[in-house]
Amino acid sequence: MSVDMSMPILVVDDYNTMIRIIRNLLKQLGFEDIDDASDGSAALTKMREKKYGLVISDWNMEPMTGYELLKEVRADPSLSKTPFIMVTAESKTENVIAAKKAGVNNYIVKPFNAQTLKTKIDAVFAE
Amino acid sequence: MGITNTQHLERIVDYLKEKRGEDVSLADVVALAEITAESLQTFFETMDTALYRELRDIAGYIADMKVEIGALQANELKNSRIPAAGQELGAIVQATEKATNTIMECAEELMAADASDAAAYKALVDEKMLIIFEACSFQDITGQRIAKVVETLQHIEARVSRFATAMRAKDMTGYFTEQEKARAARREKLLLNGPQLEGEAIGQNDVDSLLSQDNDSAQSDIDRLFS
């Protein structure tokens, strides 16, 4: 399955600079429709208003973490199929395993580069 | 001292035996009171010596503690060093954020620039590169600020360590406040481990490997983590 470059992507991070970095990388990869949210609860609100083709989320945010967002998304029948990539500095084995159990599609450890982001997005849509 | 007390008690017993059945006069009461007073006097003398020794030890301990509390320089830490370290860290965050924004603005302008006019594009690139170089100078200043914060931490560590040793302090279990307890519970529940130091973190290749394992393997990894 090829990647739809016109799909809306939601970037979730509490750090504006990281949102800006991911947004620029996604633009470089050819994506144009990019929204952002500063935590899991703000992301959920946006996801219930607009259908996103991909969510790229940080883990450690307040009040709702990316891990909680992932579980909420997978528990909501209207959102559960949304591809979800975790992009985070949480680099312990237990985090990766927990995210996998919760239904994450891929997991990127910060710091990362454009090539890693592209590879992981391609991998998610190749599933 | 115990023998003396016994002797006094024996005297009281003998006196009472001797006087049993007879009318008790005022002189008898006074005599009994004298024996009892002598007996109590000895008791208080014994108690005073033991008590004095205990109080002297406690006073010595309190004096040592006052010296150690003074050496901790808690007021200086609270009023000066820790707030100063906080300000340094705040300045570091601001400086890195400002530099990052400057660099990203330059990169975004270059990405959006029209490259059809090579000479104009080259001039724009030269101009933005110069700004990027200037922005990178934040690293020198933040390095100096971080060194000051590290020095403060070492200062605190030395004093707290000396205090703990002198007081033979034992760590309290549990949490200092309910907020602290709630934060720790949140960190544990939501696996908020934060960035790891080199050697502690797993790399992207390990992540990919974990994600590609089947669910049974992942479960065994989880079991291993909790065993």
Q: Degrees (nearest 5) of the Cα angle A103, A108, A113? A: 155
Chain B CB within 8 Å of residue A88 CB: no
- Mean pLDDT (whole number) for B179-196: 92
Mean pLDDT, to the nearest integer, of A75-82? 97
Q: Residue B197: closest CA among chain A residues belongs to which residue?
A: A91
pLDDT in tens, A40-69: 999 999 999 999 999 999 999 999 999 999
pLDDT at B223 (0 to 100): 52
Please give the model's pTM, rounded to 2 decimal places.
Answer: 0.74
Tell me what pLDDT residue B45 has.
76
Q: Answer yes or no: are the C-beta atoms of B47 and B1 closer than 8 Å.
A: no
pLDDT at B29 over 80: no
Measured between alpha carbons, how far is B151 from B160 in angstroms, rounded to an integer?
A: 14
Shortest Cα distance from A92 to chain B (angstroms)?
6
Sheet containing A9-12: which strands, arranged edge to edge? Answer: A34-37, A9-12, A54-57, A84-88, A106-109
Task: Give pLDDT tens digits for B50-87.
Answer: 888 888 899 998 888 889 889 888 899 999 999 999 99
Q: Chain A interface, mutation test: which of B105, B193, B214, most A Cβ atoms within 10 Å?
A: B193
A67/B contact by beta carbon, under 8 A = yes
Q: Quote the pLDDT of residue B83.
A: 95
Q: Would you say the C-alpha torsion A118, A124, A125, A127 has a positive or negative sign?
A: positive
- C-alpha B166/C-alpha B169 separation (Å) is 8
Q: What is the pLDDT of residue B31?
A: 79
A105-116: pLDDT as tens digits: 999 998 888 899
Instruction: Kindly determine whether residue B207 and residue A20, on different chains, have CB atoms separated by under 8 Å.
Output: no
Q: To 5 degrees, how large is the angle CA A84–CA B222–CA B182?
A: 75
Q: How far is CA A16 from CA A11, A38, B13, B100, in A?
A: 11, 8, 93, 11
> Cβ distance B8 to B39 under 8 Å?
yes
Task: Give A78 to chain B, closest Cα distance, Å.
Answer: 24
Q: For residue A72, which residues of chain B lie inside 8 Å, CB to CB?
A: none
A65 touches chain B (CB under 8 A): yes
Q: Which residues of B touch A85 (CB under 8 A)?
A: none
Share of chain B above pLDDT 90, in %: 44
Structure tokens at B43: 């008791």
pLDDT of residue A7: 97
Residue B222 has pLDDT above 60, yes or no: no
